[in-house]
Chain A
Amino acid sequence: MADDNRKLIKLTIDGKPVQVPEGTSIWDAARQLGIDIPVLCHSPRMRPVGVCRMCVVDIGQRTMAASCVRPCEEGMNVDASSAKVDLHRKMLTSLLLSDYPEYSAREMSTGNDQLLALAKKYAIHDIPFADGATGLPRGADMSSPVIAVDHQACILCDKCIRGCDELQHNDVITRTGKGYAARIAFDLNNPMGESTCVACGECMAVCPTGALTNKSVFAEM
């Protein structure tokens, strides 16, 4: 392994000491300790992007750090599970849920919708924000023979984009638009079925929500 010569960094996470090679993310270091930091936009297979912010931890600085992208530093004292940290995670989950459709194809089929799992974890019942999902304004794209795209269930975690462009090198998916209007898009914002998508299925496999699922499952809804 190329890692062998890396300097070792000592830090504590939730009071537990841990030693990791330089360059290790806080998220990975926490996993070594059996501390599971929730995250929607990251998986160990991927380059971290730190966009969902669910994995934020308190490192005693002005702002929280996204543990998936923040490298461990010598002497760091990381608070990964306090009430304060959980309050932010709960708020972020509520924000995403306020625009989430009532039915998630992933939850209804394989039952592993990761956003809904967080909703359960944080016992979120009442969402204080305006409902952005009524009438499903972001629409869906059923043009692919294999993959159903539910834009309303997309949380812009970037996993499908990295899956398509970086893991599979199929180079089809991007984000288009900006701000609250940003969404995933295929080629030049074409319907998925008319794009250069080869339906490899990587995007469905990595999607944490009901945004990209198998079409036959979606149809059953």
Chain B
Amino acid sequence: MKLLTKMMHLQEQHGAVTDTMLRELSKSEGVPLHRLEGLRGFYPVFRRTPGSKTHVQVCRDIVCLMKGGPQFCQKVKSALTGEPGVEIEEVSCVGRCDSAPAATINDVPVTGSVENIVAYATGKKPLPAHAPATPRRWPTDPYTNEKEHYGVLKKFLRPGDDRQRDAVIKILKEADLRGLGGAAFPTGMKWEFTRKAPGTPKYIICNADESEPGTFKDRVILEELPHLLIEAMILGGWMIGAKEGIIYIRHEYAKEKQALQAAIDKARGAGALGKKIFGSEVDFDLQIFISPGGYIMGEETALLEALEDKRGEPRNKPPFPTDHGLWGKPTLMNNVETFSAIPIILDRGASWWAAQGKGNYKGLKYMCVSGDVAKPGVYCVPWGTTVDELLTLCGGIPEGKGLHAFSPGGASTNFLPASKRQTALDFKAMQEAGSSLGTGAMVFMAEGRDVLQLAISEVKFFRNESCGKCVPCRVGSHKAVDLVEAALAGKPAPQLVHLLKELNDTLAQTSICGLGQVAMAPLMSVISYFPEEALPKLEGSGRRK
């Protein structure tokens, strides 16, 4: 954290991290030059030389392509050509899909339309201020006002009494809470493993680095319910015996970071953080680490590498972070949404949580909805709500169009046809339907949408965000995009679909981490579920009778 924090500070102060600065840093920190170069070259926040006064970063991913048109980035670029002091860069999803198309100008998000973005970039409109969100009442918040905050913590925080810890694990297991960042690993088990793992000190980390196209639910939780995240992390620290917690937040969430920091300060003021929490023997404190950028840091071991001042490249697993995490020590890592569900589960019990779901499904789920939908945004719905019900809740598809396809859980999840709209929002149900719930990033696609093009944009996202560590992902994702682009240009490789299937199989089976394993998944799903649409375009119309 130390080196990267220093480098980010230099970047912020000087607009670049130059060779001269790195030579000085190398001397003062006693680290070889190559290590600093490895970091500077890897993380997108760093520049070798200062750029223009106005830095416009335009999103190139699925929802912005839908809302801003396939030429969205080009349109912004053309409109700003020749504009003095403005430089434009295409970047991966900036997490503002609910008001797409989106861009950032000097790290301030601007959205809505090409015209709007251009007006901000040229200074015709002053950049929007960081206004705090209007507080909303969310069903996973057990508290009706600020005075009640950290009540659950007070109830459970009895040091030296392991029965209280046992009780927490039992409730989490009974509630069947799972990793809501998309991996669906049982949270109670993860807490138990880390608690039992030998080695000290232990660490607790919140993964607030959601960056998958279509995903922005954690952004809303961070801004509107930070006290729940903080409370759960203190409980987690008490559970495993960690004194230090880190919230790893994506660079693009500057506004949300402010809200989170304010909540941390408040918690400290209230005695919920720091030494002897609420008069107990428990010491615990939290710090925020802002990511120097890159989707891959959402992969938990890449995140750990970043915190250790290394290139954020995923580790080979096993060992897993519960045993061998930050600095090789047992580390409890959960996603923002997972942590923030814990206070209410502990407050009201596992059976209350279960009753919040529909039928046999347990609990509540934050869905981030975008694409062709009247009211995009974050919705907290009962687990087991159907895709169709979610669509209705979000006002349906505009202009009276029908549903063509949906991507239920982010760029890594298979596209499904509209005929699967009765599928329940649930890990298992969505898997049985041929996809997965992933992060809960639902992108609706109306009739008339080119699902092949949109699926290819997802593969490009993974190619763009590959860390480059292992061969299948680094080279395979690149060649996969080459293959489909050649096909769309009328030059398909012989037996293209067979080749894509074999390539996908190798990526899925041999890549180190989830990124490479799923890089081609949306494309393959479109070939499987929309063959009439995809195959003629991929294999050339001549092959079709």
Q: Which residues of A contact B (CB under 8 A)?
A: 49-54, 56, 63-64, 66, 69-71, 87-88, 91-92, 95-96, 98-99, 128-130, 132, 155-156, 165, 171-182, 185-189, 196
Contacts and interface: CB of A to CB of B under 8 A. Distances in A.
A66 B468 CA distance: 17
Contact of B508 (A63, A128, A179): A63
B33 A196 contact: yes
A186 B35 CA distance: 10
A165 B310 CA distance: 14
A180 B478 contact: yes
Given A63-B509, A129-B483, A179-B467, 5 more contacts: A87-B506, A91-B476, A178-B468, A180-B468, A188-B33
Nearest to B469: A51
Interface in B448-497: 463-472, 474-479, 482-483, 486, 493-494
Contacts, number: 148
Interface string B219-239: 000000000000000000000
Contacts of B510: 53, 56, 63-64, 66, 88, 92
A90 B466 CA distance: 22
B395 interface: no
14 contacts: A53-B511, A64-B509, A66-B512, A87-B502, A88-B509, A96-B471, A99-B475, A130-B482, A165-B32, A174-B34, A174-B38, A178-B44, A187-B33, A189-B41
Nearest to A53: B510
B503 interface: yes
Count chain A CB atoms within 10 A of each CB in B44, B479, B512, B517 and give the residue with the most. Answer: B479
A128 B475 CA distance: 13
A96 B475 contact: yes
Given A92-B472, A96-B471, A156-B474, A176 B508 contact: no
A196 B33 CA distance: 9
Contact of A155 (B32, B41, B471, B503): B471
A128 B494 contact: yes
B102 interface: no
A174 B34 CA distance: 5
Contacts of B493: 128
Contact of B512 (A50, A173, A187): A50
Contacts of B311: 175
B316 A173 contact: no
B471 A51 contact: yes
A173 B477 CA distance: 26
B468 A174 contact: no
A178 B42 contact: yes
Count chain A CB atoms within 10 A of each CB in B294, B483, B506 and give the residue with the most. Answer: B506
A132 B482 CA distance: 10
Contacts of B499: 128
A129 to B, nearest CB: 4
A70 B482 CA distance: 32
Contacts of B506: 87-88, 91-92
Given A88-B510, A128-B494, A177 B41 contact: yes
Given A51-B471, A69-B316, A99-B475, A130 B503 contact: no
B37 A174 contact: yes
B340 to A, nearest CB: 29
Contact of A175 (B294, B468, B475, B486): B468
Contact of A188 (B19, B463, B464, B511): B19
Count chain B CB atoms within 10 A of each CB in A95, A98, A173, A181 and give the residue with the most. Answer: A95
Contacts of B22: 188
B125 interface: no
A63 B316 contact: no
B37 A176 contact: yes
Interface string B425-436: 000000000000
Contact of A176 (B38, B316, B509): B38
9 closest residue pairs by CB, A with B: A176-B41, A182-B468, A174-B34, A171-B32, A174-B38, A130-B482, A179-B466, A91-B506, A187-B33
A123 B477 CA distance: 24
B23 interface: yes
B36 interface: yes
A87 B505 CA distance: 10
B463 A91 contact: no
A28 B179 CA distance: 35
A180 B475 contact: yes
A130 B487 CA distance: 12
Contacts of A176: 37-38, 40-42
Given A53-B511, A182-B468, A66 B316 contact: yes
A50 B315 CA distance: 9
A179 B502 CA distance: 21
B34 to A, nearest CB: 4
A52 B471 contact: yes
A98 B23 contact: no
Interface in B70-89: none
A137 to B, nearest CB: 13
Contact of A53 (B41, B470, B483): B470
Contacts of A187: 33-34, 37
Contacts of B517: 63
